[in-house]
Amino acid sequence: MSKHILPHALRIPALEKLKGKRIVLASNSPRRKEILRTFGLSPDIVPSTFEENLDISQFPEPHEYPVATATHKAVEVYEKLVQEDPDNAPDLVIGADTVVLTHPQPVTSDTSYSILPGIVQELLEKPTSKQDNLRMLLDLNGNVCEVVTGVTVVYPILTAPGYNIKSIDERSLVYFADNPKHIVEAYVESGEGIDRAGGFAIQEQGGMLIRKIEGDYNNVVGFPAASFFKLLDLLVEEDPDFLEV
C-alpha cells in the first residue's frame, strides 16, 4: 500500500491511481488533514506561505475569491518543491481556502434560503479579538452565512509551464439558531472560534449555535471531500495522462 493511501481507503479509480504517487497538501490545517485521512488519504504536509491578501472586491463573484487563493497556495508549493528537489517532485499538490460570507437578507422562517446574485456579501475573516468574535456571532445569530471552499489541484504535464491546474468550489449554507446572548458570550469566552473564519467551529462546541446546514458538512469544517474525490475521478476518466508524467 502506498504511504499516502491508507488501508481503509475505498477502491475508487482516483485513489487507485494515487498509489505510489507523491501527494502534498499545501496547508497546515489539522481539520483538512483529518478529513482527508477519514477517506484514506494521508498527504505530505507542506504549508503554503502565500499571504492570502487578494482583494475580494476585484472578483466579479465572491465565490471566485477562495478558488484564486487556493490556486496561489497550490502553485506556490508545487513550484517550490520542484525547484528544491526535481527528482522528488510532487505528483499532486492540493490547495484549499475556506471563507465565510454573510448576506443582508435575514432568515425569518424555515423556508429554503438562497444567496441572491448581485448583492454585496461581507467576507468574515478570522476574528482579531474576542470582542470582534462576539460582534461576528451576534451579527450571524438568527441569520445565515455561506461557507465557500475553493480547492485546487496541481499536477505535472509535459507542456509549458510544466503543470496543469484544476479547481472547484463548494458552497454550504449555515443557519444559526436565535441563541440567547449569554450562550454566544460563553462560546466566545471559550476562545474556540478565535482562529476560525467566521468565528465558529461547527464540529466542536460551535455546533451549539447552529440550527441546520444545507450542503456538505465537511465543507463547513474546511474541506469538501466528496467533491474533491469526484474531481479526481473525473480527471482519471477524461485525461489518460493524469498522474502519468
Catalytic annotation, residues: 97
Nearest-angstrom CA–CA distance, 226 and 228: 5
